[in-house]
Chain A
Amino acid sequence: MAGFLQEIVEGLGAGAIYASLALALVLIYQFTGIVNFAQGELAMFSAYIAWQFMAAGLPFWLALVLTLAVSFVGGMLIERVVIRPVEGAPELTVVIVTVGLFIFVNAAAGWIWSFLIKDFPNPFPGGAIEAGGLSLGYSTLGIMAVVGVVMGLLYLLFQHTKVGLGMRAVASNPSSARLVGIRVGWTLALGWGLAATVGAVSGILVAPLLFLEPNMMGGVLIYAFAAATLGGFDSPVGAVVGGLVVGVAETLAGAYVGFIGSDLKVGVPLVIILFILLLRPQGLFGRAAVERA
Chain B
Amino acid sequence: MLEVHDLTVRFGGITALDSVGFSVWSGEMVGLIGPNGAGKTTLFNCLTRRYDADAGEVRYEEENLLAVPPHAIAGLGIARTFQNLGLFGHMSVRDNILVGAHHTGGAGFLTAALWLPRVRREEARLRAEADSLLERLALTEVADHPAAGLPFGTLKRVELARALVGRPKLLLLDEPVNGLNSAEVEEFSGTLRALREEFDVTVVVVEHHMGFVMGICDRVVCLDFGRKIAEGPPAEVQRDPGVMRAYLGTAI
Contacts and interface: CB of A to CB of B under 8 A. Distances in A.
Interface in A207-249: none
A293 B82 CA distance: 6
A293 B163 CA distance: 15
Contacts of A292: 41, 84
A292 B85 CA distance: 10
Interface string B2-46: 000000000000000000000000000000000000000100010
Nearest to B85: A293
Contacts of B154: none
B83 interface: yes
Interface of A is mostly: loop
B50 interface: yes
Interface residues of A, number: 2
Contacts of A293: 45, 50, 82-84, 86
Nearest to B84: A293
A292 B82 CA distance: 9
A292 B45 CA distance: 9
Interface in A269-293: 292-293
Contacts, number: 8
Nearest to A290: B11
A73 B41 CA distance: 49
Interface string B49-63: 010000000000000
A293 B51 CA distance: 12
Interface string B117-154: 00000000000000000000000000000000000000
Interface in B72-115: 82-84, 86
Contacts of B84: 292-293
Interface string A98-112: 000000000000000
A292 B86 CA distance: 9
B8 to A, nearest CB: 19
B90 to A, nearest CB: 10
A291 to B, nearest CB: 9
A293 B42 CA distance: 11
A150 B80 CA distance: 49
B94 to A, nearest CB: 21
Contacts of B45: 293
Contacts of B41: 292
A293 B80 CA distance: 11
Contacts of B86: 293
Interface in B156-190: none
A292 B41 CA distance: 10
A92 to B, nearest CB: 14
A272 to B, nearest CB: 29
Nearest to A291: B50
A293 B84 CA distance: 7
B242 to A, nearest CB: 28
A277 B115 CA distance: 38
Nearest to B50: A293
A293 B159 CA distance: 13
A48 B1 CA distance: 72
A292 B83 CA distance: 10
A293 B49 CA distance: 13
A293 B41 CA distance: 9
B74 to A, nearest CB: 14
A292 B174 CA distance: 13
A21 B85 CA distance: 40
Interface of A: 292-293
8 contacts: A292-B41, A292-B84, A293-B45, A293-B50, A293-B82, A293-B83, A293-B84, A293-B86
A-B pairs, top 4 by smallest CB distance, nearest first, are A293-B86, A293-B82, A293-B50, A293-B84
Given A293-B45, A293-B50, A293-B83, 5 more contacts: A292-B41, A292-B84, A293-B82, A293-B84, A293-B86
